[in-house]
Amino acid sequence: MDVLPRQAADAVANMAADLMLLEFYPSPANIRFRAYAWSEPAYTFGVSQPWAKYRALVPARYQLVRRCTGGGLVSHLDDWTFALVIPPEHPLFKADAMASYAAVHEALLQALLRQGQPVKLAPMPAGTREFQSPDDCSRRAEPNDLVRADDGRKVAGAAQKRNRKGLLVEGYVWRPFLAGCDWERFEKDFVQALSQVLQSPARAVAEPIYNQFDHEATWGKFSAREWNERI
């Protein structure tokens, strides 16, 4: 598993970097992982969600950018964020969405339990599950999301995009619900747990160098009104 350097950028650059990790990574057969921060407060929302609905909810002073993955609205005002790409050759690529969510969140669970944080995986509901369209991702826990064990508040969630290049997982952890967490230690523990779950030893790599045209085109996509306001 290639572990990229931690970077900070705005919402457009972060969403572009995640998609480039899927589409244009120089070593496409490798699992790759990036943890990143936000250079300014922002919100993102799922690829199939309506722009106007969320623009009306999010204050105008905050960036609002459409992700290439699914899900609803996610606040990046105080979260810990990551992207993971699993190549088509890996067994988890062929698994269903619930299995890939469970694998990634199991690694998150292990990392947080090492610090004594009161967390657990949200269970699958008994019987037939009523369909609910994605809305505010931070407020409603889906099966295999990470929640607090004491009060059920959602701690972590993720969204996915799968194509012939691989499976992209964009995930976040909501830091205000995890008082006392050592985030530097958490990052190391999460990478270690993820490498064990995916059976791929972690190794630090340099920031990838992309073709300039691919880089500019991908950045331009996420900054364009045609993308963000298309629905």
The predicted pLDDT at position 123 comes to 82
The predicted pLDDT at position 107 comes to 97
Q: Into how many domains does the chain fold?
A: 1
Q: Which residue has the tokens 């929640």?
A: 147
The predicted pLDDT at position 161 comes to 97
- DSSP-derived secondary structure letter, 208: P
The predicted pLDDT at position 17 comes to 98
The predicted pLDDT at position 131 comes to 36
Residue 205 CB contacts under 8 Å (≥ 6 apart), including other chains: 2, 3, 4
- Helix 183-197, helix 97-113: angle, nearest 10: 140
Per-10-residue mean pLDDT, the chain, length 231: 98 98 98 98 97 97 97 96 98 91 95 98 60 48 86 94 97 97 98 97 97 97 98 93
Helix, strand, coil content of the chain in percent (nearest 5): 30, 25, 40
pTM over 0.75: yes
**Where in the sequence is the domain holding 116, given as residue range(s)?**
2-228
The predicted pLDDT at position 124 comes to 61
Question: Rounded to whole angstroms, how far apart are CA atoms 102 and 121?
Answer: 8
The predicted pLDDT at position 141 comes to 62
CATH code of residue 148: 3.30.930.10
